[in-house]
Amino acid sequence: EDKVVQSPLSLVVHEGDTVTLNCSYEVTNFRSLLWYKQEKKAPTFLFMLTSSGIEKKSGRLSSILDKKELSSILNITATQTGDSAIYLCAGRSNDYKLSFGAGTTVTVRA
Amino acid sequence: SQTIHQWPATLVQPVGSPLSLECTVEGTSNPNLYWYRQAAGRGLQLLFYSVGIGQISSEVPQNLSASRPQDRQFILSSKKLLLSDSGFYLCAWSGGGGQPQHFGDGTRLSIL
């Protein structure tokens, strides 16, 4: 059975801090690693990583995949209160199936 | 652009009652469609996915069923709800070729 583990489960930071979220995976026939941000309702797509060692960036968020270590990290720099959310990591094994981790809850205090 | 609609947003049902949750996608054709359940403090669990009309794959044995009567419509059903069916149900769609999945706003289902 595929397994995705995220750490930490939760963290509290102050505005301006940098946050690093971890995701490790054991996914049969691994194809890609996806990150989502979930505020109150729908998870919104952040990144999809297929190749090891290539960083993807979007504003203050960035992510990188390490296929040798079967892991990925998501970085958020200069955090803002709007970054408060649950961040979900998922491993894709084929065109359809995503296996999700339990998520990391990030709280950014003003 | 593509949009996904899911309703109702919240639902309170008694044990033993039937269930029907609906999801529709606009702005694309022949999408892959998915139903997930998210329990509190846990990740999303894939329940069903569909690659075309009438084609349903079930990921876990359970008290629920899914149907796809039209290309962009996906329905989650139950004949008799159990207490354990409570949770947050999310519908998602994706294009082919391993594209990312995009989620609807979800239905929060409470069983009394």
Q: Report whether A99 contacts A70 (CB < 8 A).
A: no
Residue A55 included in any domain: yes
Q: What would the two tokens of residue A74 be?
A: 């998501």
Q: What mean pLDDT do residues A16-25 have?
A: 98
pLDDT of residue B2 exceeding 90:
no
How many domains in chain A?
1
What's the pLDDT at A4? 96
pLDDT of residue A11 exceeding 90:
yes
DSSP conformation class of B99: P
Residue A53 included in any domain: yes
Q: A1 CB near a chain B CB, below 8 Å?
A: no
pLDDT of residue A6 exceeding 90:
yes
Domain of residue A70, residue span: 3-100
**Tens-place pLDDT, residues A51-109:** 898 999 999 999 999 999 999 999 999 999 999 999 999 999 876 789 999 999 999 99
Could you tell me the domains of chain B?
3-111 (2.60.40.10)
What's the pLDDT at B107? 96
Q: A42 CB near a chain B CB, below 8 Å?
A: yes
Rounded (10°) CA dihedral B32, B33, B39, B40:
80
Say how many C-beta atoms besides its own lie within 10 A of residue B53's C-beta: 13
Instruction: For residue B104, list chain A residues with Cβ-Cβ distance below 8 A.
Output: 42
Q: What would the two tokens of residue B14 be?
A: 């008694």
Residue A37 included in any domain: yes
**Tens-place pLDDT, residues B35-93:** 999 987 778 999 999 999 999 998 887 789 999 999 999 999 999 999 999 999 999 99
B44 with A43: Cβ contact below 8 A: yes
Select from B3, B91, B101, B105 the residue whose CB has the most chain A CBs within 10 Å, as the one to mutate to test that interface.
B101
Q: How many CB pairs under 8 A join A and B?
A: 51
Distance CA A10, CA A102 (A): 11
Q: What would the two tokens of residue B107 be?
A: 């239905």
CATH number, domain containing residue A15: 2.60.40.10
